[in-house]
C-alpha cells in the first residue's frame, strides 16, 4: 500500500498521510450511561446521555419499547478518538414518556447497549411508588396477578423474552425485571413501563447460567415468573465457519485419498509387471545371444575340424595313388620283362 495515501475519514483523521496514522486494534462497542434510573416531575425537560466507545466508530441510536425513536431530537458529539456521546432530548416529559430507553452502538465487530429507566411523577405524587396503577396499598390484587413469561429468541450471548399478564389497568401497570447470574445473591432490576411486554439482553458471559424474572413493579419474584437459561460457548460465527471449512477439507482429503491411493497402488503394480516383463525379455535375449554365440563357435570348430579331416583324407588319397602307381609300374615292368623273355625263347 502506498504510504502517501491520505485518509478521507473520520473527520479528525481526514487529510493525514497513511504513514502518519497510528493504527490500533479494532474494538467492540462498550456503551455506558451516567444514570440508569431517572425520576422527573411531569412537564420537566430531559436529555438522556450515553457514551459509546468503539474502534472503528459505531452506529448509535435510541430505542423505546424495541422501536427506534423518531419523534425526539437526537445528536452526537465526539469526546475523544474512540468515544462518541449520544444525546436524546425529550422536551416537557409527561406520563406517556415514561418507560425504558435503550442506547445501542454497533460496528462490524459487535454491539452493546445500555438501558435508562424514566419515571415521570404525577403532580399529586411525591414518590414513584404512588404512580397511578401502583397505590401505596396495592393489596392482595397484585399478589394474584399471573404473568406468563417465555423465551422469544436466544442467541449465543443474549436472550429476548416476552410476557403476558392479565391486568385490570394495563395502561398504568409497570413491571420489574430481575436479572443476573443464577448463583448471584443480588439481581439487577430493570423497570419496564406500561404497554411493553418484551425485553432483550445482550453481551452476556459465554457458557454461563442466568436467571431472568418478570414481576409487577417492586414485587419479589414468585414461582413461575422466572426463566433459567445458559449462554452458548464463546465461539464467533467466523470461527464456526472456519471449523466447518476445516472439517470439509479434511473429509474431502480423506475421500480423495482412497481412490488416489488405489490408483497409485495399481499404477505401481502395473509398473512392476512391466519391469518384470522387460527384465524377462532382456534375460531371454541374453540367453538367445549366448546360444547363438555358442552355436557359432561350435560351427567354426566343426568347420575347422572338417577342413582338417578333409586335408588328412586328401593327403592319404595322394599317398595311396602314389603307392598304386608304383605297384602298377612294377606290374607293367614285370609283364614287359616276361614278354621279352618269352620272345627270346621262341
pLDDT at 288: 75
With H, G, I as helix, E, B as strand and everything else as coil, classify residue 178.
strand
Report yes or no on 114 lying in a domain: yes
Mean pLDDT on 247-265: 74
Exposure of 114 by Cβ count < 10 A (0-12 exposed, 13-18 middle, 19+ buried)?
middle
CA-to-CA distance for 115 and 205, rounded, in angstroms? 18
Whether residues 84 and 156 fall in one domain: no
Whether residues 39 and 73 fall in one domain: yes
Whether residues 229 and 143 fall in one domain: yes
Report yes or no on 341 lying in a domain: yes
Whether residues 277 and 230 fall in one domain: no
Percentage of the chain exceeding pLDDT 70: 66
pLDDT at 313: 47
Percentage of the chain exceeding pLDDT 90: 14
Whether residues 188 and 267 fall in one domain: no
Whether residues 83 and 161 fall in one domain: no
Report yes or no on 17 lying in a domain: no
- pLDDT confidence band for 310 (50 / 70 / 90): low
Q: Which of 119, 140, 166 is the last residue of a domain?
A: 119
Cell numbers describing residue 36: 440508569
* Centroid of chain to Cα 77: 39
104 neighbors 64 (Cβ within 8 angstroms): no
Q: Which of 186, 214, 234 is the last residue of a domain?
A: 234
Longest dimension (CA), the chain: 212
Phi first, then psi: give them for residue 252, nearest 5 degrees: -60, -40
Whether residues 207 and 255 fall in one domain: no
Tell me what the pLDDT averaged over the chain comes to. Answer: 76
CA-to-CA distance for 95 and 98, rounded, in angstroms? 6
Lowest average pLDDT, out of 29-38, 55-64, 308-317, goes to: 308-317
Per-residue pLDDT reduced to its tens digit, 220-243: 888 888 999 998 876 656 666 777
Whether residues 229 and 243 fall in one domain: no
Whether residues 255 and 346 fall in one domain: yes
Per-residue pLDDT reduced to its tens digit, 76-124: 999 888 899 999 998 888 887 888 888 999 998 888 889 898 888 876 5
Report yes or no on 179 lying in a domain: yes
DSSP 84: E
Q: What is the CATH number of the domain that holds 191?
A: 2.60.40.10
Per-residue pLDDT reduced to its tens digit, 169-212: 777 788 889 999 988 888 888 888 777 888 888 888 888 999 99
Whether residues 228 and 248 fall in one domain: no
pLDDT at 194: 79
- pLDDT confidence band for 132 (50 / 70 / 90): very low
Q: Which domain holds residue 212?
A: 132-234
Report yes or no on 226 lying in a domain: yes
On the question of pLDDT at 143 being above 90, the answer is: no
- pLDDT confidence band for 214 (50 / 70 / 90): very high
Q: Which of 56, 85, 119 is the last residue of a domain?
A: 119
pLDDT at 124: 58
Total domain count, the chain = 3
Q: Which of 7, 94, 20 is nearest to 56 (CA)?
A: 7
pLDDT at 66: 58
Query: Which position has the higher pLDDT, 157 or 211?
Result: 211
Report yes or no on 12 lying in a domain: no
On the question of pLDDT at 50 being above 70, the answer is: yes
Report yes or no on 8 lying in a domain: no
pLDDT at 334: 62
Residue 59: Cβ within 10 Å count: 13
Report yes or no on 125 lying in a domain: no
pLDDT at 131: 40
Lowest average pLDDT, out of 49-58, 188-197, 302-311, goes to: 302-311
- β-pair partners for 232: none
CA-to-CA distance for 286 and 307, rounded, in angstroms? 31
Whether residues 109 and 206 fall in one domain: no
Amino acid at each position: 500500500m502506498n504510504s502517501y495515501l491520505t485518509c478521507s475519514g473520520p473527520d479528525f483523521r481526514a487529510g493525514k498521510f497513511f504513514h502518519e496514522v497510528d493504527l490500533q486494534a479494532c474494538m467492540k462497542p462498550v456503551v455506558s450511561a451516567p444514570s440508569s434510573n431517572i425520576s422527573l416531575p411531569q412537564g420537566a425537560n430531559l436529555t438522556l446521555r450515553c457514551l459509546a466507545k468503539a474502534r472503528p466508530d459505531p452506529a448509535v441510536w435510541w430505542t423505546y419499547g424495541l422501536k427506534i425513536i423518531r419523534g425526539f431530537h437526537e445528536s452526537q458529539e465526539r469526546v475523544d478518538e474512540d468515544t462518541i456521546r449520544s444525546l436524546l432530548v425529550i422536551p416537557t416529559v409527561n406520563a406517556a414518556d415514561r418507560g425504558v430507553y435503550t442506547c445501542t452502538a454497533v460496528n462490524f465487530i459487535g454491539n452493546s447497549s445500555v438501558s435508562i429507566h424514566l419515571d415521570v411523577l404525577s403532580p399529586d405524587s411525591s414518590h414513584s411508588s404512588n404512580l397511578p396503577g401502583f397505590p401505596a396499598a396495592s393489596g392482595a390484587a397484585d399478589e394474584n396477578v399471573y404473568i406468563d413469561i417465555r423465551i422469544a429468541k436466544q442467541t449465543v450471548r443474549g436472550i429476548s423474552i416476552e410476557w403476558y399478564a392479565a391486568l385490570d389497568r394495563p395502561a398504568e401497570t409497570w413491571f420489574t425485571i430481575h436479572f443476573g447470574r443464577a448463583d448471584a445473591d443480588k439481581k439487577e432490576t430493570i423497570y419496564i413501563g406500561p404497554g411493553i411486554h418484551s425485553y432483550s439482553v445482550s453481551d452476556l458471559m459465554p457458557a454461563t447460567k442466568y436467571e431472568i424474572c418478570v414481576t409487577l413493579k417492586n414485587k419479589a419474584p414468585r414461582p413461575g415468573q422466572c426463566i433459567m437459561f445458559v449462554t452458548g460457548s464463546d465461539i464467533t460465527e467466523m470461527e464456526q465457519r472456519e471449523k466447518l471449512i476445516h472439517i470439509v477439507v479434511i473429509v474431502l482429503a480423506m475421500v480423495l485419498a482412497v481412490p488416489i491411493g488405489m490408483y497409485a497402488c495399481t499404477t505401481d503394480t502395473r509398473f512392476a509387471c512391466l519391469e518384470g516383463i522387460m527384465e524377462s525379455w532382456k534375460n531371454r535375449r541374453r540367453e538367445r545371444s549366448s546360444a547363438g554365440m555358442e552355436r557359432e563357435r561350435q560351427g567354426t570348430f566343426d568347420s575347422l575340424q572338417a577342413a582338417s579331416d578333409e586335408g588328412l583324407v586328401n593327403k592319404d588319397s595322394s599317398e595311396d595313388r602314389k603307392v598304386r602307381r608304383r605297384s602298377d609300374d612294377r606290374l607293367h615292368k614285370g609283364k614287359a620283362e616276361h614278354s621279352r623273355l618269352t620272345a627270346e625263347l621262341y
